[in-house]
Amino acid sequence: MNYTLGFIICEDKVLLIEKQKPEFQRGFLNGLGGKIEDNEKVEDCIVREVKEECNMNTISSDWQHFCTMFGCKESKDNISDMEYWNVFCFVTTVDYIKFNTILQTEKEKLQVTSLSAIYTLNNKLLGNISWLIGMAIDFRENRAFIPPVITYTKLSLPLKF
């Protein structure tokens, strides 16, 4: 399974979403994104998901890939099988006018959060979101590293710290 995760940043704010599904993410804040469809390019997925989740129009060149997370978990159907997943993480910066075009949808609850408040929300954030946002900002501002691949084992997928 392949997914995208994106952070939209405007000045000192980031747009997050309170997840309703999958169940293990329910109630936690996360970036926008979702499952990559068959024959869909990674960059096209983040554009589509952002449009679906907050009605913001972006294009693939707006997004910078800053990290990929890779992991595996036991299959629901066969405990001896492993399901592998990738999450391609992106960041974009938008101006104040475009940031104010976001619309609440019926599916998900959006939350605009101050970047300085991210670390005070640890009990509401999906476990790795605070440091992913920090990495996204560093990459956006400095571009001083090659986007890393972060590998999770089936036992290390973070939900809360």
Which of 61, 67, 94 minimizes the C-alpha distance to 4? 67
Beta carbons of 40 and 53 less than 8 angstroms apart: no
Asked if residue 23 is part of any domain, the answer here is: yes
pLDDT of 22 reads: 80
pLDDT of 102 reads: 83
CATH number for position 88: 3.90.79.10
Residue range 30-78, pLDDT digits in tens: 999 999 999 999 999 999 999 999 989 999 999 999 999 998 876 666 6
Asked if residue 117 is part of any domain, the answer here is: yes
Read off the pLDDT of each residue in 101-122 and give the average, rounded to a whole number: 83
Q: Is the pLDDT of residue 156 over 60?
A: no
Asked if residue 156 is part of any domain, the answer here is: no
Asked if residue 20 is part of any domain, the answer here is: yes
> What range does the domain containing 117 cover?
2-151
Asked if residue 8 is part of any domain, the answer here is: yes
Beta carbons of 34 and 3 less than 8 angstroms apart: yes
Q: Is the pLDDT of residue 126 over 60?
A: yes
Asked if residue 33 is part of any domain, the answer here is: yes
Cα–Cα distance measured from residue 135 to residue 157, given in angstroms and rounded to the nearest whole number: 18
Cα–Cα distance measured from residue 28 to residue 31, given in angstroms and rounded to the nearest whole number: 10
Indicate the pTM of the whole model. 0.87
- What total of structural domains would you count in the chain? 1
